[in-house]
Chains A and B, each alone.
Chain A
Amino acid sequence: MATQHSRAAARLMISPAVILLFLWMAVPLGMTIYFSFLNYNLLIPSAHNFIGLQNYDFFVTDPAFVTALVNTLVLVLGVLVITTVGGVLMALLLDRPMWGQGIVRILVIAPFFVMPTVSALVWKNMFMNPVNGIFAWVFHLLGIQPFDFLAQAPLFSIIMIVSWEWLPFAALILLTALQSLDSEQIEAAEMDGASAFSRFIYITVPHLTRSITVVILIQTIFLLSIFAEIYVTTNGGPGNASTNIPFMIYSQSLLQFDVGGGSAGGIIAVILANIVAIFLMRMIGKNLEA
């Protein structure tokens, strides 16, 4: 369908974005790769000698590395499941006629507006604290022993906090997609006597797949680098129970100011993220095609 002319035009239209991103990737990434082979600590400016793969070696042989890897994946998957399922339900709910639709939408989107550090502080101190949190108070009213969320289930608690932050994103994207759904199609199906469930499975879900794919891909990118929530609530503990790869990189880069080690960790994170992305593309990439 596309003509030679429109192809050339298309290329022209894509190129600014591609060129910019290429520069953005090439220059800092190139420098990061370079630094990752140096013995370069910001606080010890004298020595910048080449040390080969030592930084990488130290990063992957860290006893916390494997746990951190698993935690990173659990965190990403947990939040993805909760937010996509929750997001679809939320979008369906918000798409129905009701009074005060606009207000409810704003209420649901609102958590996305809160800075991660603030939401983590609010959740940690005002909700999950086993002595003076609201949950502890509710447990107390029910006559149950308060549960120490951040010590007994640190990763789970962080998944809940992060899901709360990202649910609005999924809900908003899916809602926008849902509203572009042709209502005639649904009406026709309704007249043919299709049940609400089969209408959902055969019309709504296929219509939403592309948006769900985008929600998953974009969220994965952000979730792979979750850091502020962990830092504020548990600092990666107890033990390594809530340490993820970004937290390890943070510890190298902004606690030790070890630019070499942090860069090596960064490159490892890029590689891991790409593996995850390729995996995701295999699974859901076909949804992107028209």
Chain B
Amino acid sequence: MTSTLRALFGACAVAALATVASAETTITVATVNNGDMIRMQKLMPDFYAEHPDIKVNWVTLEENVLRQKVTTDIATHGGQYDVMTIGTYEVPIWAKQGWLTSLNDLPASYDVNDLLPAIRKGLSYDGKLYASPFYGESSFIMYRKDLMKKAGMTMPEAPTWSFVRKAADAMTDKAKGIYGICLRGKAGWGENMAFLTAMSNSFGARWFDMKWKPQFDTKPWHDTLSFYVDMMKKDGPPGASNNGFNENLALFQQGKCGMWIDATVAGSFVTGKDSKVANEVGFALAPNKEGIAKHANWLWSWALAIPTGTKHAAAAKTFIDWATSKHYLDLVASKDGWANVPPGTRTSLYENQKYLDAAPFAKLTLKSMQLADPTHPTVDPVPYVGVQFVAIPEFQGMATAIGQQFSAAVAGTTSVDTALKNAQAIATREMKKAGYLK
């Protein structure tokens, strides 16, 4: 029965693609379900017109499921995918294992030097590019101009943490359901820990010293966490300990937040059609502590990579070249307008006046991304790569456990001191287990 069905499906597929030549190569692309990736699937006719001999099968999934699937597949050499969408966290770890095909031989039209330097650094290992960025982001402040004005303050382009706190205090009006600041609180390495790790950089803290000794017992971390907890308790929304990106986005769009520090990609959402406050949104760089050069902004990129085991490396490369090219940016602009172009990957995009006009947050997005340096993320030297993460396999589990502690501190079920003490113990344990510490 099954084979008949498969034949039937096959027949349908052939009928649908009757124009395609018979000797086609089929590649399977695993990807994340964000808006930009969804758009690409709609623009595939352009790719097929140029490459009628390649057919692309899409597997589109939510971020965490995607990560579990592609990691299992690449580590067991399952060979289910020819192109994988991975983040800046995976690239250095996987490249080190020799699991990724180097992308150094893309055609000249790809123009590798046009990639934003910070992103290129984040996706390279030993000087070779292993994944091609499709989309990049940093984080910045989104704030309500009207509330700021009402509070009698003006947001500078690069505020400090003490300014942010003063503004949050002034904007908060709990009786009216307005909370001065909304920040991530839900436990998780990609949730509150992404924000807090980036924030700790701007307080001069770091995860590990050069001997991989965890640093949660140091003063900068204590300053970071107590500042965050105090501010959230005073000016944050109720339920902050379970808010992630989407929860805060909903709050901000409903006009409940005075300020929100999160991914630059949110810039288009808070000024978009679902936002009640679209016309009142201003942007500023993520804050820093007085006298500290690092700002609290992270660096992330979704990038396309080719696992070494694939049988269709050439077709996969052709696809990646198309999907992350300058030509693709033009294609999106011609179909859906410049505001919808995948941001944060190429310098040329930020030199394009049409894009700068269409995206009010573009200038600050670029500045934020330039400020982030994945190879030197902290004030003091560190043995790891990554701004809001530490690119070692042990990080995800460890940071989630520590995230639980910090989430409890915001919920008020544990003190800042206990949370940090537990964080230090968790990190020390995991690092001993993994053999970094003797």
Q: Measuring CB to CB, which residues of chain A are less than 8 angstroms from any residue of chain B? A: 41-45, 54, 58, 62-64, 124-125, 129-132, 146, 148, 150-152, 233-241, 243, 251-252, 254-258, 261
Contacts and interface: CB of A to CB of B under 8 A. Distances in A.
B370 interface: no
Given A42-B72, A238-B408, A239-B405, 20 more contacts: A43-B71, A125-B246, A130-B239, A131-B177, A132-B250, A148-B238, A148-B241, A152-B411, A235-B187, A235-B407, A237-B404, A238-B404, A238-B413, A239-B407, A239-B414, A241-B408, A251-B401, A257-B72, A257-B75, A258-B397
Given A129-B247, A130-B239, A238 B97 contact: no
Nearest to B244: A235
Contacts of A239: 404-405, 407-408, 411, 413-414
A33 to B, nearest CB: 19
28 contacts: A42-B72, A42-B75, A44-B393, A58-B429, A58-B433, A62-B429, A131-B177, A131-B239, A131-B251, A132-B250, A132-B254, A146-B238, A148-B241, A151-B413, A235-B186, A235-B191, A237-B241, A238-B404, A238-B409, A238-B413, A239-B408, A240-B404, A241-B408, A251-B401, A255-B397, A256-B396, A256-B398, A257-B393
Contacts of A54: 433
Contacts of B121: none
B90 to A, nearest CB: 9
A64 B401 contact: yes
Nearest to A258: B397
Interface in B371-424: 393-394, 396-398, 400-401, 403-405, 407-411, 413-414, 422
A112 to B, nearest CB: 22
Contact of B239 (A63, A151, A255): A151
Interface in B84-111: 93-94, 97
Interface string B223-249: 000000000000001110110001100
B408 A131 contact: no
Main DSSP-derived SS at the A contact region: loop
B43 interface: no
Contacts of A43: 71, 75, 93-94, 97, 393
B411 A238 contact: yes
Nearest to A147: B238
Contacts of A131: 177, 237-239, 251, 256
Contact of B426 (A63, A237, A243): A63
Which 4 A-B pairs rank lowest in CB-CB distance, beginning with the nearest?
A: A239-B408, A238-B408, A256-B397, A237-B187
A273 to B, nearest CB: 23
Contacts of A125: 246-247, 250
B122 interface: no
B93 A151 contact: no
B68 interface: yes
A101 to B, nearest CB: 37
Contacts of B81: none
B97 to A, nearest CB: 6
Query: In this complex, which of B239, B250, B394, B401 has the most chain A Cβ atoms within 10 angstroms of its Cβ?
Result: B239
Contacts of B411: 148, 151-152, 237-239
Contact of A235 (B237, B256, B403): B403
Nearest to B72: A42
Given A238-B408, A239-B414, A42 B397 contact: no
**Secondary structure of the B side of the interface?**
helix
Nearest to B189: A255
Contacts of A62: 429
B188 interface: yes
Nearest to A43: B393
A234 B97 contact: no
A69 B333 CA distance: 54
| Of A44, A235, A258, most B-chain CB atoms within 10 Å | A235
A195 B404 CA distance: 54
Contacts of B401: 64, 251
A238 B411 CA distance: 7
Residue picked from A44, A64, A146, A261, most chain B C-beta under 10 Å = A44
B397 A148 contact: no
A235 B188 contact: yes
Contact of B400 (A45, A238, A241, A255): A255
B425 interface: yes
Contact of B241 (A41, A151, A251): A151
Contacts of A235: 186-188, 191, 400, 403-404, 407
B434 to A, nearest CB: 8
Nearest to A254: B68
A288 B433 CA distance: 46
B404 A243 contact: yes
Nearest to A125: B247
Contacts of B68: 254
Contacts of B237: 130-131
B426 A251 contact: no
Contacts of B189: 255
B186 A148 contact: no
Nearest to A242: B404
Nearest to A41: B393
A138 to B, nearest CB: 15
A42 B71 contact: yes
Contacts of A150: 239, 241-242
A256 B426 CA distance: 14
A130 B75 CA distance: 41
A130 B238 contact: yes
Q: Most A CB atoms within 10 A — which of B71, B177, B405, B407?
A: B407
A55 B429 CA distance: 12
Interface string B249-264: 0110010100000000
Contacts of A237: 186-187, 241, 403-404, 407-408, 411
A256 B330 CA distance: 39
A42 B71 CA distance: 8
A174 to B, nearest CB: 34
Given A43-B75, A124-B242, A255-B189, A132 B404 contact: no
Contacts of A238: 187, 241, 404, 407-411, 413-414
A84 to B, nearest CB: 30
B214 to A, nearest CB: 15
B401 to A, nearest CB: 7
Nearest to B414: A239
